[in-house]
Amino acid sequence: MTTTGPGRPRKQQPSRPGATAREEILDAAAELFTTQGYANTSTRSIAEAVGIRQSSLYHHFGTKDDILEVLLAGTVAGGLAFARRVCSGDDGNGSPTAAAARLHAVALYDGTQLCNARWNLGVLYNLPEARSARFQGFMAERKELRGLYRRLGEELPGNGWAGTSQNGDLAFRLVESLVSLRADGLATPDSPRQAADAGIVLSGLADSLTAIRGRSAALVASIG
């Protein structure tokens, strides 16, 4: 048996990604929550998946809800940080192509984060527990991210399928649909771009899609 520090004995050598026991616990919990279900996963099973004692897990997290809180926050943190930077930057002098590129870039970056995460943590959004007051921090950040999508959508011309009042919400929902696509085993490396493209096409800007993609890619490269 090896140890990870005073009071934190480990039954085996680390077998999970992560530089620390905390990161390994989060990885194990993410796998179990998304494959076995949150209600069916105990802190004991998480500890066993890491190779530590249950008491050692409590050194890092007091409850299973504490673990879920961190995992939920991680699903929106990257996309929200990127969207904030896009919204605080140059607006392209009101150009429809530039405005659409901003929305496309946010959708592309956000969708890529959801699809490329090691575990499909977006499925946890549907948990009844995720809507409780215990997770109000996560809910507030997700609401802010949705609001930034809406703000960017309102910058587009009002000639799309949804109209300017819905363009951003539509893009947001298309990106979140990638969670279900991934759960069904249908997501591909192109899925985030396809979702971002769909938001632009349904906003009535299909004719400018190639130019929008180019500006979007430049934004992702410079900010992401």
- Is 135 within a domain? yes
Q: Are residues 49 and 86 in the same domain?
A: no
Q: Are residues 96 and 49 in the same domain?
A: no
- Is 34 within a domain? yes
Q: What's the domain range around 33?
A: 6-62
Q: 201-211 pLDDT, tens per residue? A: 999 899 999 99
Mean residue pLDDT of the chain comes to 89
For 180-190, b/e burial (b = at least 16 CB within 10 A) is: ebbeeeebeee
Q: 15-52 pLDDT, tens per residue? A: 566 668 999 999 999 999 999 999 999 999 999 999 99
Which of 62, 88, 109 corresponds to the end of one domain?
A: 62
- Is 1 within a domain? no
HEC assignment per residue over 95-136: CHHHHHHHHHHHHHHHHHHHHHCCCCHHHHHHCHHHHCHHHH
Q: Are residues 164 and 90 in the same domain?
A: yes
Q: Are residues 70 and 150 in the same domain?
A: yes
What does the alpha-carbon distance between residue 107 and residue 100 come to, in Å, rounded to a whole number? Answer: 11
Q: Are residues 107 and 212 in the same domain?
A: yes
Q: What Cα–Cα distance (Å) separates residue 73 from each residue in 16, 32, 134, 137, 201?
A: 21, 17, 12, 8, 30
Q: 119-164 pLDDT, tens per residue? A: 999 999 989 888 899 999 999 999 999 999 999 998 888 666 656 6
What does the alpha-carbon distance between residue 199 and residue 142 come to, in Å, rounded to a whole number? Answer: 19
Query: pLDDT confidence of 2, banded at 50, 70, 90?
Result: very low
3-state SS, residue 217: helix
Q: How many domains does the chain have?
A: 2
Q: Which residue has the tokens 């910058």?
A: 155
Beta strand spans in 115-220 (E): none
